[in-house]
Structure 1
Amino acid sequence: MNALVWHDEKDVRLEEVPKPELANPTDAIIEVTATAICGSDLHLYNGYMPGMREGDVLGHEPMGEVIEVGSEVETLEVGDRVVVPFTISCGSCWFCGRELYSLCDNTNPNAELISETMGHSPAGLLGYSHLLGGYAGGQAEYLRVPYADVGPITVDSDVPDEEVLFLSDIFPTGYMAAENADIEDGDTVAIWGCGPVGQFAIQSAWLFGANQVIAIDRVPERLEMASDHGDAETINFEHEDVYDRLMAMTGGRGPDGCIDAVGTEAHGMGVAGVADQVKQEIGLEDDRPHALRQAIKCCRKGGTLSVPGVYIGESDNVPFGPLMNKAITVKTGQTHVQRYLDPLMGMIEDGEIDPSFVITHQVGLEEGPEMYETFNNKEDGCIKAVLTP
């Protein structure tokens, strides 16, 4: 089968690889009908995520048709149309029992590797390095789905792929980000990063009762989407000081909730931004936490900071003193996707939201390597690319 394969930094190729087979009785095999490039895939593309090996199949936002099921799979049948979460969860461990699916104890076979740096291992993830299981991803014609009874949601309606595909990751991620921001009716919410997760965090902030949503980025088309589709007020951080502008917009108090939807590759301004870039490039820090620092500074006293943006390791100069002294609550985490599938599917089927608004590019899988480059360089107005095998 054809798949997008990682070889090295900025080296993704379309190659023929073996078609996956059932490895366990709880597995299913799907024929992929749609898949997407996620912003967190760029951390792999740019060489920041450790644990990648030449030949790894990428992708963690797939959906398709079930073509084979293991002997112990009870919820899926051949012919079912399904969306597959990026989190691989067993459904029976202590964490899964509390719907903390991205913290599953049993799905990362390489748990000891990542526990050395993190203390504990999160769940295994599709297509996201050997530190998180080494599972083949879904930017391919076929995909093996482990623990197939726990996660994949069946699409019973005739809603198009493009409307449900993002249940695999970015829609639940943006929704959980807003949930973690503890939004109350009338709150002001500021969101750093207007990529796809940021766009869904904007949409979700309104659903949780926000009175004002402010979106922060520097890419014009992303800010335009945040304004036109998300009804957000916008700040271009290249043109104005974010702190000063937020204080002016909130009467000096600061936003009630702040969401960092940027993560490890934040673009900072001035000396601090250059220093982060240099330190990350030479290995003195793992992440560029410019957006995180700014969110801590801007968040009101007693407010909440939600961090859906992916961070990889250690970050330099994070202002923990202000975080503590301002009594800011922090909530983070990879998304517990399975927790949100049913309610968000209901919103889509009821016409409350059409997630396909974020799609700017839709191409064949064979154009994937070029689309990685386009997306990474923020060219051609690319916000979200969907690939069709």
Structure 2
Amino acid sequence: MRALRWHGKHDIRCDNVPDPKIEHPRDAIIKMSACAICGSDLHLFDGFMPGMKSGDIMGHEFMGEVVEVGKHNKALKVGDRVVVPFTITCGECDQCKRGNFSVCERSNRNKDLAAKAFGHTTAGLFGYSHLTGGYPGGQAEYVRVPFADKTHIKIPNGLSDEQVLFLGDIFPTGWQAAVQCDIEPTDTVCIWGAGPVGQMAIRSAVLLGAKQVIVIDRVPERLSMAVAGGAIPINFDNESVIDRLMELTQGKGPEKCIDAVGMESHATGTVDAMYDRVKQAVMLESDRPHVLREMIYVCRPAGTLSVPGVYGGLIDKIPFGAAMNKGLTWRMGQTHVNRWSEDLLRRIQEGQIDPSFVITHTVSMEEGPGMYKTFRDKHDGCIKVVIKP
């Protein structure tokens, strides 16, 4: 089969590899019908996530048809159409029973490695380094899904791949980011980053009843898409984020702030941005936290910071004293996809939202490697890439 594989920093190739096989009775094999390049994949592409090995298959946002089922998997049958959550969940451990699926205690087959890095294991993830299990990802013609009797979302007839594909990651990620804010009707919600997760967070905040939603970015196409979703745009290349936020909130600051950027945040002409790039270049810091610093500074006292953006290691110069003295609440983490999937599928079916709005490019598997750079550099108006086998 064909698959997109990581061979080092900025080196993704479309290779021929052996087809996957059933390895455990709860497994299933999925024939991929659509997959996507996620902003989190760019952290691997740019070499910022530890634990990658040459030849690893990329991708964690995919769906398809079940073509083979392990003998103990009673939840699926051949021919079922499923979206596969990026978080692999056993459904039986203490964390899964609590609905904390992204910290499943059993699905990371490299749990000792994860525990050394994080203090405890977290869930296994598809295509996202050996810290999270080293599982082959979904940018491939066929994918083995471990714990497949729990790690799936069945899709009813009448919905296109494009409508439901993002139930596996960016839609529930944006939704969880907004839910973590405990949005009230009087709230201003400010979102840093108008990429795919930011776009979903905008629409989620609107659906959850925020009084005002603001988005910060500098890419015109992303800001236009954000405005279409109900957000007020701030282009940080053209105006002061702090001044504009104070103007929009009558000097009080937003009650709820969402970091939809993560470890590779950008800034224009700021001292801290230059500091981060130097420290990152000499490996004294792994992540660039400009957005976190700005959120802490502008958030209204007693407000909430929600962090769906991925961070991989160490950050520096976080004004934690300001966060503590302002009484800010931090909520963060990988997405508990299955906690939200039933509700979000219903909202798609009812026409409350059609997540396919975010797709700007649909390409073949062979075109996939080149689209990584196009997506990262925001060329050709690229916001979200879907790959069809």
> What range is the shorter-chain TM-score in?
over 0.9
Give the Å deviation of 1:36.
Answer: 0.1
Query: Aligned equivalents of 2:365 and 2:295: distance in 1?
Result: 37
Aligned 1:359-378 pairs, distance under 5 A: 359-378=359-378
Cross-structure match for 1:105:
105
Give the Å deviation of 1:121.
Answer: 1.5
The one-letter code of the counterpart of 1:243 is I
Query: Aligned equivalents of 1:143 and 1:15: distance in 2?
Result: 15
Cross-structure match for 1:136:
136
Query: Aligned equivalents of 2:322 and 2:111: distance in 1?
Result: 33
**Secondary structure of 1:348's aligned partner:** helix
Cross-structure match for 1:167:
167
Cross-structure match for 1:119:
119
| Matching of residue 205 in structure 1 with residue 180 in structure 2 | no
Query: Aligned equivalents of 1:383 and 1:135: distance in 2?
Result: 26
Aligned 1:19-34 pairs, distance under 5 A: 19-34=19-34
Give the Å deviation of 1:358.
Answer: 0.2
Cross-structure match for 1:326:
326
Cross-structure match for 2:254:
255
Cross-structure match for 1:234:
233
Query: Aligned equivalents of 1:360 and 1:79: distance in 2?
Result: 29
Cross-structure match for 1:245:
244
Cross-structure match for 2:69:
69
Cross-structure match for 1:16:
16
Contact kept? 2:122, 2:132, Cα under 8 Å: yes
The one-letter code of the counterpart of 1:309 is G
RMSD over equivalenced CA pairs, Å:
0.7
Contact kept? 2:110, 2:130, Cα under 8 Å: yes
Cross-structure match for 1:293:
293
Query: Aligned equivalents of 2:281 and 2:66: distance in 1?
Result: 42
CA offsets 1:176-205 (integer angstroms, 9 cap, x no match): 000011111121000000000000000000
Query: Aligned equivalents of 2:131 and 2:299: distance in 1?
Result: 33
**Secondary structure of 2:172's aligned partner:** helix
CA offsets 1:42-92 (integer angstroms, 9 cap, x no match): 000000000000000000001000000000111111000100000001000
**Secondary structure of 1:316's aligned partner:** coil
| Matching of residue 95 in structure 1 with residue 95 in structure 2 | yes
Give the Å deviation of 1:350.
Answer: 1.1
Structure 2: 5+ residue runs without aligned partners? none
Work out the number of aligned pairs and report it.
388
Cross-structure match for 1:80:
80
The one-letter code of the counterpart of 2:32 is V
Q: TM-score, normalised by structure 2?
A: 0.99
Query: Aligned equivalents of 1:43 and 1:346: distance in 2?
Result: 32
Cross-structure match for 2:264:
265
Query: Aligned equivalents of 1:373 and 1:246: distance in 2?
Result: 32
| Matching of residue 190 in structure 1 with residue 166 in structure 2 | no
Query: Aligned equivalents of 1:8 and 1:118: distance in 2?
Result: 24
Contact kept? 2:257, 2:299, Cα under 8 Å: yes
| Matching of residue 225 in structure 1 with residue 228 in structure 2 | no
**Secondary structure of 2:33's aligned partner:** strand
CA offsets 1:247-280 (integer angstroms, 9 cap, x no match): 1110111101000000000002322111111211
Cross-structure match for 2:146:
146
Q: TM-score, normalised by structure 1?
A: 0.99
**Secondary structure of 2:112's aligned partner:** helix
The one-letter code of the counterpart of 1:307 is V
Contact kept? 2:206, 2:230, Cα under 8 Å: no
**Secondary structure of 1:116's aligned partner:** helix
Cross-structure match for 1:52:
52
Cross-structure match for 1:350:
350
Query: Aligned equivalents of 1:388 and 1:279: distance in 2?
Result: 39
Give the Å deviation of 1:377.
Answer: 1.2
Structure 1: 5+ residue runs without aligned partners? none
The one-letter code of the counterpart of 1:122 is T
Give the Å deviation of 1:113.
Answer: 1.2
Query: Aligned equivalents of 2:30 and 2:188: distance in 1?
Result: 42
- Identical-residue share of aligned pairs (%): 59
Give the Å deviation of 1:114.
Answer: 2.1
